Amino acid sequence: MDRLVHPNLKDVSLAAALHALADPVRLDIIARLVDCPSLNAGASCAQATPKSTISNHLNVLRAAGLVETKVEGRERINRLRCVDFDARFPGLLASVLANKG
């Protein structure tokens, strides 16, 4: 099984955070995690999204420090690192989600 990397948020650049938040699919994943604090990968995206695409988007979100993934049995459960991310980039996530349109 591959190792999941969760960066220390002090090592995440603003550019990486903005890149992760710039994609509509990733924003949808973030919005779903705001509504439901923990989701498996399949529930993180619209049903028509291929698993490989979901995995890639979750990797980008994880690398930007937005998502934490834990392995529980055969599932990977994702949760938003809202408090940690907001401490690193105050107000950024709330502002992006408020203007998601």
Assign residue 41 the CATH number of its domain: 1.10.10.10
Residue 4 lies in a domain: no
Residue 26 lies in a domain: yes
In this structure, are residues 80 and 45 in contact, taking their beta carbons and an 8 Å threshold? no
Strand partners, 78: 39, 69
Cβ-proximal residues to 57 (8 Å cutoff; 6+ apart), any chain: 23, 25, 26, 29, 45
For 27-46, what is the mean pLDDT?
Answer: 83
The yes-or-no verdict on residue 1 having pLDDT over 70 is no
Q: Would you place residue 101 in the very low, low, confident or very high pLDDT band (cuts 50, 70, 90)?
A: low
The predicted model scores a pTM of 0.88
Residue 6 lies in a domain: no
For 41-51, what is the mean pLDDT?
Answer: 74
> How distant is the alpha carbon of residue 43 from its chain centre?
13
pLDDT above 70 coverage of the chain, percent: 95
Residue 19 lies in a domain: yes
- Structurally, how many domains does the chain consist of? 1
Residue 5 lies in a domain: no
Range of the domain at 61: 11-99
The yes-or-no verdict on residue 39 having pLDDT over 90 is no
